[in-house]
Structure 1
């Protein structure tokens, strides 16, 4: 009577572990890059929504006979980009502060400053009330800040 052996040899197990190690070494950096790409895409969507809302609000103000842009993009530091003019809403739900976006200095009626941090790099966006422009600088700051700004607005 012969016994049947069901199982894996040590060589087979080591071979599988080596293959899994190689796959993990290749996959982990790709997942990190994918996360950064997703954060940049989300930030681009936020910026597009903010800019679109500024234009829409400007058009509504022109229809009402007002020839200026919204004086502030945020009413408070908790939820950003909700607007501050006669209870008008810039973004319906706003963007929670403390995540990627935070509010910086406010020069009432002139500029609002916001920062966004992605993958440890922070760049600054400024809303200029007189022109309605919401943008960051690709010419000032560190190289990483300039590159992040360029990635977000181009």
Structure 2
């Protein structure tokens, strides 16, 4: 696997260390990414998103959704069954899992719902007013008269 050194970026930029850290994390990640449970990411509007995760076999009390350090962490832990069951075929995986999603700046989780074996997590991007684009008014063009400078030696 090829490795990249991002240290030259740190001395020429300010505030982009998170982008370089993200690139480091992506490039250093194992090629075999976990595929369980499967998920979709939908764009619902200009600033609205939804992550839908297939969690068949899990109850709402066996799932957790947390936001920590700029990451959305979804975990599922199946409770122990009281009685022993005998399966002829077991195709519904109920093993424990943890999925992490890196959140961009100003992303906020607005809610989560569990219905029909799907966990839906709604997100919205809320850009602060100070960071939104704004138009700067240009003052009218007044000409300024040049005034002669008096020399002290004259």
Give the TM-score normalised by the residue count of structure 1: 0.30
Higher relative contact order (CA 8 A, sep 6+): 2
User: Higher strand share goes to which structure?
Assistant: 2
User: Higher helix share goes to which structure?
Assistant: 1
Give the TM-score normalised by the residue count of structure 2: 0.30
